[in-house]
Structure 1
Amino acid sequence: MLRAGLVDELRLMVNPVILGGGLRLFADAGTVPLDLIRVRPFESGNVLLYYRPTP
């Protein structure tokens, strides 16, 4: 959907956890350029990141 231009905004919630190494969630998805447009921190330590696809 990102590659097709059907997404206006992407919101990602980041939970600060130290686990070591890991696997990519969408390893075969490739990459799409995004611009960070807003950051909303919470008292719990979580951070909400707002991205917009780069035109």
Structure 2
Amino acid sequence: MHTAHLRGHDPAEHIAKLTSLNPDRIKIPDTDKGRRLRASLRTLRPAQNPHPQP
């Protein structure tokens, strides 16, 4: 997202794609940043889908 923003692209499309992903099924490095990203995606996903799947 940061690179898209620096290049003058609207990051909204990229953010929408990222937040629609299932955070438990995508490959995210097991680092501090990766764990923060996964946790953030988990909090965003229920807000996007009022009927989340278990």
- TM-score normalised over the length of structure 2: 0.27
Larger RCO (CA under 8 A, 6+ residues apart) = 1
Larger radius of gyration: 1
TM-score in terms of structure 1 length: 0.27
In terms of fraction of residues, the more strand-rich structure is 1
Decide which structure has greater helix share. Answer: 2
